């Protein structure tokens, strides 16, 4: 693979350091947690931040970035950015689902929609230089499909998943709404930033684009994890609700 690492290297190292610092913070914060239900949340957040730190390290070292040619035109692909998202974004939805007391079907739907969102985002990036080999609309077609998947996820978050919290304690509802709104605002920035960046309209250079994605990633994972894991009363309420649900980790239906 040919490294195309340039002036954006600083942002990639900052992303690596930030994700690693967040991982260590969550690890230390949850080290003495004995409650089984609460440990589930720590494990999910730890895996998300640790996975992100590894992928950022790959990009910072130049391994997670390559140049591919499509239809005779070169395209820069930050493939480690997508391996980060394909593994970490479902974990964040699982954390939200566990907090809300989602059913197994609801969790499966969240993870499935999320996977389609990231996969079609990859196709949008890979379609950047393919010319005649792409259906009408090229990368913007796949961008539209990916964005539609994101909007479907947000509809589900604000509809059925929010409804699951209606009968829950106020502390749990408040934390869920905060996290839900954080996800909505930050995640909607991703397709907009992609559209403005090097694979979209080209209004931002690679340096600015990388800085923007790094900032969004830190907020989406570390801020999310901090708000969730610092909400003791909400986690306790989620644990009690899960214990009351027929002895299962979460409802089956």
pLDDT digit of tens for each residue in the chain (253 aa)? 334 455 789 999 999 999 999 999 999 999 988 888 899 999 999 999 999 999 999 999 988 888 776 556 666 778 999 999 999 999 999 999 999 999 999 999 999 999 999 999 998 888 875 444 444 457 889 999 999 999 999 999 999 999 999 989 999 999 999 999 999 999 999 999 999 988 888 888 888 999 999 999 999 999 999 999 999 999 999 988 887 765 544 444 4
Sorted by where each starts, the structural domains of the chain and their CATH numbers stand as 9-243 (1.20.1070.10)
What pTM did the predictor assign? 0.89
Task: Please enumerate, as own/partner, the contacts of 34-41 that have beta carbons within 8 Å and a separation of 24 or more.
Answer: 35/236, 35/239, 36/239, 37/235, 37/238, 37/239, 37/242, 37/243, 38/235, 38/236, 38/239, 40/98, 40/249, 41/95, 41/98, 41/99, 41/228, 41/229, 41/235, 41/238
């Amino acid at each position: 693979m040919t490294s195309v690492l340039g002036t954006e290297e600083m942002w990639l190292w900052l992303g690596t350091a930030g994700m690693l610092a967040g991982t260590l913070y969550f690890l230390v914060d949850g080290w003495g947690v004995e409650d089984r239900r609460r440990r589930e949340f720590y494990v999910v957040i730890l895996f998300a931040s640790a996975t992100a730190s590894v992928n950022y390290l790959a990009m910072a070292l130049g391994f997670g970035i390559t140049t591919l040619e499509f239809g005779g035109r070169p395209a820069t692909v930050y493939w480690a950015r997508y391996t980060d998202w394909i593994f970490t974004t479902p974990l964040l939805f699982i954390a939200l689902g566990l907090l809300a007391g989602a059913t197994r079907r609801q969790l499966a739907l969240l993870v499935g929609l999320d996977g389609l969102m990231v996969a079609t985002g990859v196709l949008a990036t890979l379609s950047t230089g393919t010319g005649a080999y792409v259906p009408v609309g090229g990368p913007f077609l796949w961008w539209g499909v990916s964005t539609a998947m994101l909007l479907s996820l947000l509809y589900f978050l604000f509809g059925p998943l929010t409804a699951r919290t209606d009968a829950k304690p106020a502390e749990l509802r408040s934390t869920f709404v905060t996290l839900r709104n954080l996800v909505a605002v930050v995640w909607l920035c991703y397709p907009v930033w992609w559209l403005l960046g090097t694979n979209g309209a080209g209004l931002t250079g690679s340096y600015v684009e990388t800085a923007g994605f790094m900032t969004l990633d830190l907020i989406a994972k570390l801020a999310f994890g901090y708000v969730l894991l610092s909400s003791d009363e909400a986690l306790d309420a989620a644990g009690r609700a899960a214990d009351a649900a027929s002895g299962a980790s979460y409802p089956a239906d």
